[in-house]
Structure 1
């Protein structure tokens, strides 16, 4: 078949291609990857032809007029890349982070990515496996035994992918079943008792049916140790299996069915303290232990009374049908997937039994998708691809946080510190019992109290998308693309707070306190007592002077009503920070329908020109879209307007504050110019782009919960370069570099203050991967020695924009000073210097023996930091993985 491609005249015979990461595929893989006969490949043995499907049509990498990085199966094997997280070490534009749990994994491309800590947020960088959309990053963080390649498409891809590809796409392509019997088995052993074993077998059943089966395990001790019970933290314990059936009798019909299952049961993710506080002193006074990390990652000892447990289960089935109707090919991809997860964690991250455990994520995600598209293969100048996509998903998520036996004494110490020793928990209970007429004795901060949350979300969406290619000349191709998406969401929440103190209305209690104090003072003044009157004296005054008493009472009550929200008058308001788990407003309700119904058009215009048979250029403009997202965390609150309406109608629950129930849709836009060249001994690609996302969906941790908000506009100017130099038939040198200038054009309502004009935290200005591979035949038998290495560098970058526990609030005016939050965050930077290498002896009969190492420099750093929970200005963080190394044996047959 022939496709209209970028630079069609640049044939396979002259293509000298490599992955955008600069990591090459050996000559033995050329025919398989390109689907070409050996006679067609005239390039030197060290060069490559890689076919990609980034535009949903088969094209060679160099002909594809989009910014795409390709990592081959051989690179994945040689570099001991286990999962998508490891992939970031060879693709500089990609960053993968894992925070509080396995399900909190997030992907970002060119500095754009969605925080994974909120299950309600679908990623801006969409994940596809064999054309099937994975709606959450957790759906694909495990290994795959039969990867053919991984494509990372940079920039919005909405006109080719059905849903939520506003910042980029990660597309994993696995090997199809073959009609020739073959396979591979592999075993690896490394430090931390790491054991990886996987295998893959394929072959024919009949002349028309072929099958393949693969599976494996990945186990490793943790690189952190819990000093309380000696358990390993941040370990690996996952297994996976996958089966495929292919029908292909050489006719117009082709069918591929895939079933897969994977499971993760790990202790993740360990948290260390990086900055202490007075509150940590209180924890230690009560017998709790906290690691003395102080930016020394080599300590690798934490203290927690609850081991962080993650359980993730993924399975699904998909079927792809291709049918050729002359010059047209009809493709249908149908899939059902289910993801289940459970994460339990000690949210105070100390050995004190302050919080007996928090179920930070218990969810079931059921997803059905259907894609139908038709592509032309005309000989004329016009060709097209038109598709439709349907998405139907239900998310049922629960979380909870429960006080332990140690929380009441801990809160007692904090309360004494906050009140200068004038209040204890016992005295506070007595004070409020008298004011509210309720017996609170022994009820504040009691063990077993907590917050229990359940939210169900239904999401239905459909889209129509397509591209039209028009050959203006043999060398000039114009592409026009469009996508229309309709997306509907509905949530139902059921949250309950049993934290008694958090349910106390300190405004109402303070009103009563102000009234009682004011009345006693006024009556004492009228009676010339020189002091406040006693209750008996007030009673006597009321009985003897009812009219005067009524007038005094009315005046005092008016004063109380006018000042009960004034912290200078109502001293009880200073205790609001101790209401850790206030009740939330469930929805739908009389004001909030808790549904969205949104639609959007996305566009793509691209002009591609073949300058010479070895040099191609293109320019493009594209937009992208990601639908509105609901806040499915335990801090889902009404928007300010809805909050005001609930208050006005008397429907607001006690202590309700406005927040973010949902975030508006993201709209992205990119202007891009690219140059792709290939010559006899070298290949190089250069991309310059300006990319922005309006209303970027940001998720910020405040120390007790996550705040969902829309950044007005996030913008990045960038330059991407990758090049390969074939120094000889044995030696290939490569480099891939990404320069990013990422900033917030507008983010006025950030939880850490106005970030407009500020750099986006966590996005390094410079990322680079330098690689080399030496592949030499050592004897007449065809045995080879393969030495490869890559060095990944990221320039120093501030890991967060601000720390909310450092925000200073003026008690008199309520004014917020965000400066200390910025200053505290600026102290935490991350720089990456990651060296990976492997040495392989490959026997011609199929056996390969390898020695490998990752992060050989043992470069340790903090991936990100966040406010320690209920610990004042303490700061916690997540350490990166230390040096790993081992040996591996692989046999191909």
Structure 2
């Protein structure tokens, strides 16, 4: 068995896996990767790729993909709402995970198997050999959903020599991690096995007012492998894996509490949020629970035919997830629990044939098949206090308060009460039923429990979403000379998606047509009401209608017959003119009802390609120029929120990347470096943005990203290794995005909106490309708000102590420049994230041969506070926001042993 590799641990990234040589001449060892689906060293591979070894991941205490970004500056990983809602971005490009119909722009592969959902890859790393982050479009060789890049996990294979490794970690927040692997022969030199298992548990970082803890860890993983070696031309590797996540994540305390919400909280007796997401507390009365069960089987078979090798990779994956979240993030029963269920079964088959090396040509060809059956369900009903909350919060608006007073409503009456009263009074007089209206429409009937009543809202949405795809691909390496190589590849893809929605929405308020109401509503007097309800006074109908009398008299009007259209004086009544902005701008229209949720099917075809010119100037300096295209198919939105813009499906996303790279070694192989300068354009970028009432889904025109990436590892002495890198995005903007999202659907005054030329288009409605009227922002030519600069620096120092012992000191720092956390670029402090600097470190002692080690470690040692994400609060009137806070300082002790 390969024992603990001292060299591999020293390196911060796999640009340099470690040191070899003597104390007098330290050298950097270059790692082997498979970024081109054949083994090459990092210097030979003509692509921008960073690889992090499993030993480095273990030493750095990286437990999931979100931590990996501290060692890979071009990679960012967001975590929102639930443990599984992790989004991978490379060079700032990636797709949100909130809408299951939108597949990732960064492809994730585990041991060569495509993983349809990034949430399925976040469980603890088991026997990891390395992680490769391949930047830029990789559609030629990797295929599906890789227009931004690839994150490829490679686990250690079974070995024919017995060995075992184990790890026990304890830390603050009651962290407990146990992991083990054992490998060895079942049949000498023919059949070997490996078994891995881990348990990761930790208390939560955030305490609720009722004592519950959120943002905890409670997960386990298991993996079993068999490796068969025929002793001749054939090898086979079979992998079975399973995992479970059962966590209370993720809390999003309020980061800004608007006066309207603060007033409502106080009046309704709710726990008032502190407005500081970093104080370790939150106040909700519902669950934040995520449970995920995954399992999978895969088989890789390789057969050497002499001149070429045939590879077959067959895989089946099952993913089942339940989420239950208190959507309003308060102690009020404003929004009922959002319950989501997702289940998919995915089958993949890949065949490849690749030459075994030749004088002038190497080639590869393959076929890929993919089938995925997905079921997604969601329900988000209104709670029993939503109407009361909306009344109180909206009553602070002067226009709302004036109208409520004119109607004779009491203090604290807001938009729902006004609608109940005005429309209810018309119901009582029979307008639209007993008497005609100018538009010929009937006045809607006020629901029995009033507008925004409990149980209304999104009753259920269920989608069955089947995907079938296949592709054929090939690549040729032509060594024109000993130094000059041309690599060219093509891939043809065809994909069909079948979509069957079943959506039930019961939301009478969101169904109101403000224009029709403005034409048809009447302000009847008590006398007019009585005419429709003969009988001795007092009349219940007359009492209800009497509320309108003050409003009529205030406008100088007079009682009128509801069958007669309004006079000009009456039409000028603010009670009528305010209805349209009252309804459209209230921010309370969460659902679009009677939308055309109809079954559909679509087929996308694409030809992607790449060409790379590589030149080896010497044994220590390589350069390349590449042009590559990427592709992600279109699809259907699995969210009723899409009805707000009429965008029920989205188009394919394509990428063009032009890149120049330099790789080499220096100082007698004590330094290895890689530099890439790229110009990447994404057309019809698939995006979704949360705007308060739901997610805005669209194809974002064209995005242009230009940048410089630098990575280097230096070994100045046998005992010291320095590694660092940075990504500088000097251009990152929307070249065209005519109908981008506004910060919120509300037209009420918001900080940073009025008077800001960036949002001038949001102050009036426009008609988008689908003919829907709404508030859209033209973001063409606007910077996307992503970090301009990200970088990291690590240092590893080892010192022999004698008697076979060794001291190891490790330090890491990472930096992310300022950014805007809102996809609509909302100009509010909650969304403007300052630059972040994180510091991690460890000190360890152990055997020089790696037989055992004891490590004291810490992450975020300076206890830096920042937001992982921020969004407009659900169901609010004012510009309140919630934020996902960063993890606090963590530390612990890890004991490892290898046999």
Q: TM-score range by the shorter chain?
A: 0.7 to 0.9
Residues 273, 426 of structure 1: alpha-carbon distance in 2 compared, 3 angstrom cutoff = closer
In the aligned structure 2, how far is the partner of 1:315 from the partner of 1:684? 39
- CA deviations on 1:552-594 (whole Å, 9 max, x unpaired) are 95x7799999x99995676874676433334252532xxxx52
Instruction: Give the deviation of 1:662 after TM superposition.
Output: 1.6
Shift of 1:775: 2.2
Match of 1:211 in 2: 193
Aligned twin of 1:672:
659
Distance 1:283 1:324, change over 3 A: same
Task: Tell me the CA shift for residue 146 of structure 1.
Answer: 0.7
Q: Does 1:874 align with 2:884?
A: no
TM superposition shift of 1:825: 6.2
Return the alpha-carbon distance in structure 1 between the equivalents of residues 24 and 353 of structure 2: 34
Quote the residue 1:446 is aligned against: 453
Distance 1:25 1:366 in 2: 37
Correspondence for 2:471: 463
1:730 corresponds to 2:753: no
Instruction: Give the conservation status (yes or no) of the 8 Å contact 1:426–1:441.
Output: no
Residues 782 and 565 (structure 1 numbering): CA distance in 2 closer, same or farther, change over 3 Å?
Answer: farther
Q: 1:426 to 1:606 in 2, by over 3 A?
A: closer
Asked whether the 8 Å contact 1:20–1:69 carries over to 2, the reply is: no
Q: Distance in 2 between matches of 1:833 and 1:658?
A: 39
Distance 1:378 1:833, change over 3 A: closer
Deviation of the 1:357 alpha carbon: 1.1
1:176 aligned onto 2:199? no
Query: Where in structure 2 are there 5+ consecutive unaligned residues?
Result: 1-6, 431-444, 529-555, 743-776
Mapped pair 1:580 → 2:590? yes
Query: Matches of residues 135-534 of structure 1 in structure 2 within 5 Å?
Result: 135-207=116-188, 208-227=190-209, 229-277=210-258, 278-294=260-276, 297-359=277-339, 361-418=340-397, 419-420=400-401, 421-422=404-405, 424=413, 425=416, 428-436=419-427, 438=445, 440-451=447-458, 452-513=460-521, 532-534=558-560
Provide the residue aligned with 2:819 in structure 1. Answer: 797
For 1:569 and 1:580, the matched residues in 2 are separated by 18
Distance 2:300 2:700 in 1: 39
1:564/1:59 Cα in 2 relative to 1: closer, same or farther (>3 Å)?
Answer: farther
Judged with a 3 Å threshold, the aligned counterparts in structure 2 of structure 1 residues 502 and 24 are, in CA distance, closer, same or farther, namely same
1: distance between equivalents of 2:123 and 2:734? 33
Q: Is the 8 A contact 2:169 2:177 kept in 1?
A: yes
1:148 to 1:63, Cα distance in 2 relative to 1, 3 A: same
RMSD: 3.1
1:774 corresponds to? 797
The match for 2:59 is 78
Cross-structure match for 1:525: none
Structure 2 CA distance for partners of 1:516 and 1:467, relative to 1, 3 Å: farther
Matches for 1:696-735 after TM superposition, within 5 Å: 696-735=685-724
Between the aligned partners of 2:40 and 2:23, the Cα distance in structure 1 is: 18
Offset of residue 394 of structure 1:
1.4
Q: Secondary structure of the residue that 1:823 maps to in structure 2?
A: coil
Using the alignment, how far apart are the partners of 2:885 and 2:346 within structure 1?
33
- In 2, the alpha carbon distance for the partners of 1:886 and 1:234 equals 18
Of residues 740, 750, 758, the one that matches 2:740 is: 750
Q: Give, in angstroms, the shift of residue 226 of structure 1.
A: 0.8
Q: Matches of 2:278 and 2:51 in 1, distance apart?
A: 34
Q: 2:846, 2:506 → 1: CA distance? A: 63
Q: Which residue of 1 aligns with 2:860?
A: 855
State the shift of 1:777 in Å.
2.5
Are the structure 2 counterparts of residues 849 and 19 from structure 1 closer, same or farther at C-alpha, using a change threshold of 3 Å?
A: closer
1:627 maps to 633
Contact 1:73/1:147 (CA < 8 Å) preserved in 2? yes
CA distance in 2, matches of 1:557, 1:369: 69
Per the TM alignment, residue 415 of structure 1 is displaced from its structure 2 partner at its CA by 4.8
Conservation of the 8 A alpha-carbon contact between 2:79 and 2:87: yes
| 8 Å contact kept, 2:830–2:870 | no
| Residues 430, 178 of structure 1: alpha-carbon distance in 2 compared, 3 angstrom cutoff | same
The DSSP-based 3-state class of the residue aligned with 1:126 is strand
Query: For the residues of structure 2 that align with 1:167 and 1:587, how far apart are their CA atoms?
Result: 31
Structure 2 residue 9 is matched with structure 1 residue 25:
no
CA 533–516 in structure 1, closer or farther in 2 if over 3 Å, else same: closer
Which of 836, 846, 850 is 2:851 aligned to?
Answer: 846
Change in Cα spacing, 1:565 to 1:601, as seen in structure 2 (3 Å) is farther
- Hey, what's the Cα distance between the residues in 1 that align with 2:355 and 2:11? 27
Separation in structure 1 between the aligned mates of residue 147 and residue 585 of structure 2, nearest angstrom: 43
1:438-478 Cα distance to aligned partner (Å, 9 max, x none): 46443333223331211111111111112100010011110
In 2, the alpha carbon distance for the partners of 1:833 and 1:22 equals 23
User: Which stretch of structure 1 is more off in the superposition, 836-845 or 429-438?
Assistant: 429-438
Q: How high is the TM-score relative to the length of structure 2?
A: 0.84
SS in 2 for 1:485: strand
Distance in 2 (alpha carbons) for counterparts of 1:91 and 1:292: 35
**Is this contact kept in 2: 1:394–1:457, CA < 8 A?**
yes
Deviation at 1:22, TM superposition (A): 6.5
CA contact (8 A) 1:511 1:564 kept: no
Q: Is the contact between residue 788 and residue 839 of structure 1 (CA under 8 Å) also seen in structure 2?
A: yes
Q: In the TM superposition, what is the alpha-carbon distance from 1:100 to its structure 2 partner?
A: 1.5
In structure 2, what is the Cα distance between the partners aligned to 1:322 and 1:291?
Answer: 59
Measured after TM superposition, the shift of residue 823 of structure 1 is 2.9
Structure 1 residue 279 displacement after superposition: 2.2
Alignment partners' CA distance in 2, 1:882 and 1:358:
28
2:301/2:312 contact within 8 Å kept: yes
- 1:17–1:103 CA distance, 2 compared to 1 (3 A): closer
Secondary structure of the equivalent of 2:146?
coil
What displacement does 1:532 show?
3.5
Q: Of 673, 688, 710, which aligns to 2:677?
A: 688
Displacement of 1:888: 0.3
Question: What's the secondary structure of 1:432's corresponding residue?
Answer: helix
CA shift in 2, pair 1:398/1:842, >3 Å: same
Aligned to 2:543: none
- Deviations along 1:68-116, one digit per CA (max 9) or x if unpaired, are 0000011011101111111101111100010111232100011111112
Change (3 A) 1:403 1:486: same
| C-alpha deviation, 1:834, in angstroms | 0.8
Residue 26 of structure 1 and its aligned partner are, at CA, apart by 4.2
Q: State the match for 1:648 in structure 2.
A: none
Q: Write the deviation string for residues 640-699 of structure 1: whole angstroms up to 9, x where unpaired.
A: xxxxxxxxxxxxxxxxx5431122111101111111111322111111111111111110
- Is the contact made by 2:588 and 2:693 (CA closer than 8 Å) also made in structure 1? no
Structure 1 unmatched runs, 5+: 1-14, 31-37, 521-529, 539-551, 638-656, 804-821
Structure 1 partner of 2:648:
661
- Match for residue 614 of structure 2 among 564, 587, 608: 608
The DSSP-based 3-state class of the residue aligned with 1:579 is coil
Is the contact between residue 83 and residue 249 of structure 2 (CA under 8 Å) also seen in structure 1? yes
C-alpha distance in structure 2 between counterparts of 1:465 and 1:236, whole Å: 41
* Alpha-carbon contact 1:17-1:61 (below 8 Å) kept: no
Check the 8 A contact 2:591/2:640 in 1, yes or no. no
2-structure distance, mates of 1:456, 1:557: 52
Greater mean alpha carbon deviation, residues 626-635 or residues 63-72: 626-635
